[in-house]
Amino acid sequence: MEIISGKEDYMYKRQLGNSDLYVSELSLGCMSLGKDAEKAKSIIDLAINAGINYLDTADLYDFGENERTVGEAIKGRRNDIIIGTKAGNNFTPGQEGWTWDPSKSHIKSAVKDSLQRLGIDYIDLYQLHGGTIDDPVDETIEAFDELKKEGIIREYGISSIRPNVIKEYVKKSDIVSVMMQFNVLDRRPEEAILELLDDNNISVLARGPLAKGMLSTKAQEKVKEKGQDGFLDYSYEELKALIDKWKDYESSERTLEALALQYILHNKTVAAAVFGASSIEQLENNLSYLEAAPLTEQMFGEIQAMTKPLTYKNHR
């Protein structure tokens, strides 16, 4: 996996596995864009103009409407971007609920719907949106392999935090990426998964890098709002104490958003930190990463020392 300088040298791009896809190390998760098409377009335009080239969505987000919103926003800019979307949740627009369906027939049908909603004729990165160890994994892989041979998708990956599922796909498929939650408060991928993926030349797309905003400049406010019931193995009291220490790292050289992003991008297996943004302000706060002083090994070690490594308790 290779890192190259981005266009005009303001955004680095990292190779996705051994593919010819190079994604910007900061990438935009589109789920929280909302349904206001004009607002969504302004966020996406600013992101692309700042050097972000990877946009991540899914057919399940707003039951297809998010793909439509993204499709409208990228008209005329298709060549500037890499589009990732996901499948595996079977739903009928206009009806409530959905069912998990990783079957070959559903995936090959779902991709056509995604292409239509996005208004494009191929998908750069198509991802299985979840997965269990009881799935018909071979059938699912066959569907993705056929779509790749047909030129409908360029590459494929999975979105999963389950070690047993990830290991199956590493062993049996040609995935180039795994999307998983990874941040300073959720260091579970460091346990063994990052090493496994690196050994097999598979990249990580790290979602949730700001931990629901609890690692942002509004950290203390967000902990009160989102952390009352704790977060993973952290109690509410532990979260408050940790975030008080986290706030001490805020400086003129580096925002807390930049520090949170620097921590996960410090690992070479991570191709991109995929953050959401529901406003221009949130996007700009995350883009402060581009102007931050480099993360030192000392700071990286201090962050590891004050947080919990954590381990996966299920799906072993």
Q: Name the residue with higher pLDDT: 184 or 64.
A: 184
Report which of 155, 192, 154, 211 is spatially closest to residue 269, judged by C-alpha positions: 192
Reported as a single tens digit per residue, the pLDDT across 136-187 is 999 999 999 999 999 999 999 999 999 999 999 999 999 999 999 999 999 9
Can you say how many angstroms the Cα of residue 173 is from the centroid of all Cα atoms in its chain? Answer: 20
pLDDT at 6 over 50: no
CB 277 within 8 A of CB 32: yes
Q: What is the pTM of this model?
A: 0.94
- Concatenate the DSSP letters of all residues of 169-204 into one string: HHHH----EEEEE-BTTB-GGGTTHHHHHHHTT-EE
At residue 88 the predicted structure's pLDDT band, cuts being 50, 70 and 90, is confident
User: What CATH number labels 3-306?
Assistant: 3.20.20.100
What is the predicted pLDDT for the residue at 313? 84
Residue 198: CB atoms within 10 A of its CB come to: 16
- Establish whether 122 is a catalytic residue: no
Q: Which of 10, 12, 54, 61 is catalytic?
A: 61
For the chain, what are the domain ranges? 3-306
Stretch 208-225: mean pLDDT = 95
Reported as a single tens digit per residue, the pLDDT across 217-269 is 999 999 999 999 999 999 999 999 999 999 999 999 999 999 999 999 999 99
Stretch 58-87: mean pLDDT = 90
What is the predicted pLDDT for the residue at 5? 52
- Concatenate the DSSP letters of all residues of 14-72 into one string: EE-TTSS-EEESEEEE-GGG-S-HHHHHHHHHHHHHTT--EEE--TTGGGGHHHHHHHH
- Exposure letters 162-195 (e unless 16+ CB within 10 A, then b): bbebbbbbbeebbbbbbbbbbbbbbbbbbeebbe
Q: What percent of the chain has pLDDT over 70?
A: 97
Burial of residue 229 (CB within 10 Å: 0-12, 13-18, 19+) is: exposed
Q: What percent of the chain has pLDDT over 90?
A: 84
- Exposure letters 4-32 (e unless 16+ CB within 10 A, then b): eebeeeebbbbbbbebebbbbbbbbbbbb
At residue 117 the predicted structure's pLDDT band, cuts being 50, 70 and 90, is very high
What is the predicted pLDDT for the residue at 9? 47
Stretch 265-293: mean pLDDT = 96
What is the predicted pLDDT for the residue at 34? 85
